[in-house]
Amino acid sequence: MNYLDLTIAEIHRALVENKVTSLELVKESIARIKNDKNNSYEADNFEAALKLASEITSVKEEEILKGIPYVAKDNYSTKDIETTASSNVLNGYIPTFNAEVIDRLNKAGAILVAKSTLDELAMGGTGLSGHKGPTTNPYDSERIIGGSSCGSCAAVAKCDVPFSLGSDTGDSVRKPAGYGGLVGFKPTWSRISRFGLFPFAPSLDTIGYFTRSIEDSAILTNILAGQDEKDMSSSYRPVENYLTYLNKPNTERRIGYFKSVIDCIEDKAIVDSFYKTLDQLKAEGYTVENYEFPEDLLNALYSVYMVISCSEATSNDANLDGIKFGIKPTGNAKTWEEYMTEARTRGFSDLIKRRFVIGSFSLLAENKDELFIRAQKARRLIVEEMERFFKKYDYLVLPTSKRVAPLIKDSSDKWNPNPNFVDNHLGIANLGGYPSLTLPLGYEKGLPFGINLTGRQFEEGNLFAIGEDIEKMTGLKNASTVTRRIK
Amino acid sequence: MNFEPVIGIEIHVELKTKSKLFSSAPVGFGEKPNSQTVAYDLGCPGTMPVLNKQAVVYGVRVAKALNMDIEQLVQFDRKNYFYTDLPKGYQITQQDHPIGSHGYVNLKIGDKDKRVNIERIHIEEDTAKQLHLGDMTLVDYNRAGTPLLEIVSEPDMRSDIEAMKYVETIHQIVTFLNVSDGKMEEGSMRCDVNISLRPYGTEKLGTKCEIKNLNSIANVRAALEYEIKRQTEMLLKGETVGQETRRYDESLKKTSLMRVKTNDVDYKFFREPNIMPVRISDEFVKNAIDTMPKLPNQYRAEFLADGLNDKEVEVLLGDTEFTHYFEDVLALGCKSAKTLWNYLLGDVSAYLNKDMLKLSDLKITKVQLKDFCNMLDEAKINSKQAKEVIALMLRDGADPKKIVKDLGLEQISDESAIQEIVDKILAENEQSIQDFLGGKDRALGYVVGQVMKASRGKANPALAKKLILAEIEKRK
Amino acid sequence: MIKITKSVIETSAKNLLFTLTDKELEETHNEFDAILKQMSFIGSIKNIDQAEPMTFPVADEQTIMREDIPSTPMDVEEELKMVPSRLGNQVRLPKVLG
């Protein structure tokens, strides 16, 4: 057993007690990253990481992240480290500043060892569309690990690091977490500063992270949450100590679920496991009830998400024109339009271009009311319905996905012609800005599947409390490709 | 003329905040290219807009000065288009919720009043600056992100004079409020003029032409004068006026085609998702207004009450520095606004203009100028002496009281002292007395001159004249 | 709403400053039928047009703005290091007209 296979809390304990040094951890992490077989990584930070780790001689009790290696999705701005968002249009872009969350983690003593792959510009859900090619699932390399935070998920699933940064706009941390058997968490929109996160859809984008335990997730939230003057949308609400919600009885105990969503799942193992968990929760004193969420709203979830996100994305990525940074010009362009067109044509994959066309189309004056504004109205109605839900219940609990990770050959990021609301319910937490947590529920034929919990805005602590209860029930704390073998 | 001009004007004013609208980079002018930027100004991914409070304060002040409704929920929108001077590929502006709406200004043209309604004012980011050379264009991002205030009038103006007066008025307001340098020749104030013609008495608007790149208020008027003539001639000939964007050529004194206006570009406006609505409180608004500098109209009322006439007031208000200097000297206890005006805009101005100096370059203090003016009004020196004194003051920065003392220039106003001199001169100039009594008025002036000479110019000339006349009366 | 023809897609791409290959154009055109069909689900939501559009998921209003204090600008060399094409201290482009 290697210390790198443990949780943050356990590794920290070992560092404090001098059972392991940071340098040993970082060296091991680098070795594993170099040996990566899942195409999980972009640029590395090995030299700087080793230097930082070698300078750490002791770790105090309260320095909970000090000396611990981590990986960040390549859409986080990292000073002096090439950041591409897995898109050719940003090849060679070396930022001059760190994202706020990177600064906070570094200040806490955590050590960034590498950047991880993503679906290009974070606009995908399979992990297949990054400019380096597909990122595969460490549990089965014929399968996807999901996206867009594919590399970050793989890194933690195979214990290259104990935690990683991802980002979640529609489900991009919580869905892969299900396929990768991890804890994938996104807090309330505006709880954590988005400064330095390359924007996909700012009204939906949230910082998210992968860990292997609920406690670890709470630890990270303590460090990352809070107002940042560089992000005007970040919340001024006071930050709690989220660890105080653990290891004590949970006071919020009303669970709601959508039977209409679960009825769409054909995989019996997942459905049975889910209902069994609900029964166990009932036995622990939770009330559990079905909620009839209007079907017309559920049916529209996919389109609402796609229209809003593609429209905002088209605008956000208009800065990628080859003039100020990124892809080098060929020198053939004779006019400025040719110059920009060349950069954008060479730099974007066809999937991204299609998404931009959709976004642009939705915002055209003649379509805006019918498409974009209507989607924003639908968002309002969906959120109003959720507010009604949250008056009766403290949590929405649902299976993360209808199946275990699909095969690569069966996956695509094309516009889904037959979206099913079971594929899209995770987006509710983005539309409504709610905190949401995926954690491992079980395995089917060796492949993980997860359970997802969503709570009211700014009630991250309560989510960790119920998450901890479920984690105890499943016994799947610190699940990974390493520990599963041991199990 | 058969056709009525219908003119609307859009004015962009660069706000003189210390930092940019959404980034903390410094705002400057004429600095080395690309030395006044931070990552946001280049549109680097992950950077975010953070609103500059002072820009909002300035917006509130201008809205108040223009009699507008102030929007207290400050919101922004994205205007999406591609261009080489637009680093993010969109501009953050206020499309749906401008900070000010439904305002107006009153222009005074001759003795007539003209009200021009102002549709809206809004805050937005400026673009980068481009330098077009031979086969390439160079881009400097220093200006990118500087706060702009866009002021949009209703098409209420009906002549080139009205348009010019409107621009003058806006210029005066923004410079007096100290929100902008307002220098059209430097680009800190930019005017785009829209003009169409229609037959008098009709409602329907004609085809609109836009005139851009006007770099002075005088050119605004000249361009419109030409354009009105051009369009009138076309319409009289039965030709159609094209929808165009034109520029004014100062040397040729005519407008020429820049480009034909195509269908309106679709900017795909939507709410800026990184800036949540910012509520400015009633207190914030009140504070911004209470602390704002005096407006031209306030100065007008004050200076007229101080005794200046309309013309004198307008000359003074033509320059904010002179206005403030004038106000300060009055406040220090200068007794006569008229006297101060005469010397400030006379001798002092001439002195400054000779070497292209500014008021701040003056060697004298405001107190010294006040003392000077008061000495004159209290008849301690006469106007001839004053000319000498002010010249020395300006040259050396010397104190007027000291100059007068050192040169022995104190005007003699003591009656008995002057009487003595008068008696002496009259005794020596019997012929002049006779000449004057005989009807030669010039003789009086000669005698006064002799008294002045005998007193080495120090005698109070009015008093001398009075005493001389009294003496002559006695000898009738 | 306008009909989705290949020409509309091509114009969209042109306005977005990239070109689509024939294959990409074909695929996008095919996708659009599915897209429009699902967008119509939004239209069938009960009371959709009475709702207020929502931009921000959190309803909090901001009151705090940045003080007007300038920061140190980026070092010119550091800034221009990122730029693909430059001349002296400026960013260089092919000639821009108009």
DSSP string, chain C: -----HHHHHHHHHHTT----HHHHHHHHHHHHHHHHHHHHHHTSTTGGGSPP---SS-PPB---B-S---PPPPHHHHHHS-SSEETTEEEEEPP--
Q: What is the pLDDT of residues C46-83, one digit of tens each?
A: 999 999 999 999 998 888 999 999 999 999 998 888 89
Q: What is the pLDDT of residues B18-52, one digit of tens each?
A: 999 999 999 987 689 999 999 999 999 999 999 99
**Residue A429: pLDDT over 70:** yes
Measured between its terminal Cα atoms, the distance across chain A in Å is: 12
Q: Examine the residue annotation and report whether A22 is marked as an active-site residue of this protein.
A: no
Q: What is the pLDDT of residues B204-237, one digit of tens each?
A: 999 999 999 898 999 999 999 999 999 999 999 9
Percent of all residues in chain A with a pLDDT value above 70, rounded to a whole number: 99
Q: Which domains does chain B have, with CATH numbers?
A: 9-196+265-279 (no CATH), 294-406 (no CATH), 415-474 (1.10.10.410)
Choose the closest CB to B45 out of A311, A319, A368.
A319
What phi and psi, each to the nearest 5 degrees, are found at residue B108?
Answer: -110, 115
Q: Give residue B432's pLDDT.
A: 84
**Mean pLDDT score, A13-21:** 97
Please indicate whether, in this complex, the C-beta atoms of C70 and B24 are within 8 angstroms of each other: yes
What average pLDDT is seen over chain C?
89
pLDDT band at B404 (very low <50, low <70, confident <90, very high): confident
In C, minimum Cα distance to B258 occurs at C98
Choose the closest CB to A296 out of C46, C52, C56.
C46
The size of the A-C interface in CB pairs under 8 A is 177
Sheet containing A164-168: order of strands = A41-44, A111-116, A69-73, A164-168, A206-211, A183-186, A436-444, A447-455, A395-399, A254-257, A287-290
Please indicate whether, in this complex, the C-beta atoms of C82 and B131 are within 8 angstroms of each other: no
Q: CA distances (Å), B203 to each of A202, A228, B197, B234, in order?
A: 46, 55, 11, 20
Please indicate whether, in this complex, the C-beta atoms of A370 and C82 are within 8 angstroms of each other: no
Measured between its terminal Cα atoms, the distance across chain C in Å is: 32
Cβ contact A326:A93 at 8 Å: yes
CATH match for A3-250+436-486 among 3.40.50.11540, 1.10.357.10, 3.40.630.30, 3.90.1300.10:
3.90.1300.10
| Prediction ipTM score | 0.95
Other C-beta atoms lying within 10 Å of the C-beta of residue C47: 9
Interface contact B51, partner A, CB < 8 A: yes
Please indicate whether, in this complex, the C-beta atoms of B46 and A231 are within 8 angstroms of each other: no
Choose the closest CB to A198 out of B45, B82, B137.
B45
**Mean pLDDT score, A176-186:** 98
Q: Which of B29, B74, B129, B138 to mutate to test the interface with C (most CBs of C within 10 A)?
A: B138
Of A273, A193, A202, A196, nearest in space to A225 by CA: A193
Q: What is the pLDDT of residues A332-374, one digit of tens each?
A: 888 999 999 999 999 999 999 999 999 999 999 999 999 999 9
- Chain A window 359-398: which residues touch C at a Cβ cutoff of 8 Å? 360-361, 364, 366-367, 370-371, 373-381, 383-384
Cβ contact A183:A216 at 8 Å: yes
Provide, as residue numbers in chain A, all residues whose Cβ is less than 8 Å from the Cβ of C1.
Answer: 366-367, 370-371
Q: Give residue B75's pLDDT.
A: 96
**Mean pLDDT score, A418-430:** 91
Please indicate whether, in this complex, the C-beta atoms of A327 and C95 are within 8 angstroms of each other: no
Q: Which residues contact C93 (CB under 8 A, 6 or more apart)?
A: A323, A336, A339, B84, B136, B137, B138, B139, C85
pLDDT band at C40 (very low <50, low <70, confident <90, very high): confident
Q: Which of A22, A86, A129, A148 is catalytic?
A: A148
Distance of residue A354 Cα from the nearest chain C Cα, in angstroms = 6
Provide, as residue numbers in chain B, all residues whose Cβ is less than 8 Å from the Cβ of A99.
Answer: 46
Please indicate whether, in this complex, the C-beta atoms of A233 and B276 are within 8 angstroms of each other: yes
In A, minimum Cα distance to B79 occurs at A315
What is the pairing mode between strands A447-455 and B136-140?
Answer: unpaired
pLDDT band at C2 (very low <50, low <70, confident <90, very high): low
Q: Which of B17, B130, B137, B274 to mutate to test the interface with C (most CBs of C within 10 A)?
A: B137
Q: What is the pLDDT of residues A39-89, one digit of tens each?
A: 999 999 999 999 999 999 999 999 999 999 999 999 999 999 999 999 999
Candidate ranges A423-432, B126-135, B451-460; pick with highest mean pLDDT: A423-432
- Chain A window 316-335: which residues touch B at a Cβ cutoff of 8 Å? 317-321, 323-325
- Domain segments of chain C as ranges: 1-45
d(CA B142, CA C58): 34
d(CA B171, CA B177): 10
- CB-based burial of residue A413 (10 Å sphere; 0-12 exposed, 13-18 middle, 19+ buried)? buried
Choose the closest CB to B84 out of C62, C82, C93.
C93
Q: Which of A94, A357, A420 to mutate to test the interface with C (most CBs of C within 10 A)?
A: A357
Q: Examine the residue annotation and report whether A235 is marked as an active-site residue of this protein.
A: no
Q: Which of A73, A158, A175, A186 is catalytic?
A: A73
pTM: 0.91
Choose the closest CB to B51 out of C66, C76, C80.
C66
Q: Examine the residue annotation and report whether A172 is marked as an active-site residue of this protein.
A: yes
Q: Which of A81, A82, A97, A356 to mutate to test the interface with B (most CBs of B within 10 A)?
A: A97
Choose the closest CB to C63 out of B18, B36, B278.
B278
Provide, as residue numbers in chain A, all residues whose Cβ is less than 8 Å from the Cβ of C27.
Answer: 350, 354, 414
Question: What letters, b where the CB count within 10 A reaches 16 and e where it falls short, cover A284-308?
Answer: eebebeebebeeebbbbbbbbbbbb
- Domain segments of chain A as ranges: 3-250+436-486
**Which helix (DSSP H) or strand (DSSP E) does residue B114 occupy?**
strand B112-125
Provide, as residue numbers in chain C, all residues whose Cβ is less than 8 Å from the Cβ of B136.
Answer: 87, 92-95
d(CA B158, CA A435): 59
Q: Give residue B474's pLDDT.
A: 84
Distance of CA B125 to the CA centre of its chain: 25
Q: What is the pLDDT of residues B412-457, one digit of tens each?
A: 777 888 888 888 888 888 888 888 888 888 888 888 888 888 888 7
Q: What is the pLDDT of residues A90-120, one digit of tens each?
A: 999 999 999 999 999 999 999 999 999 999 9
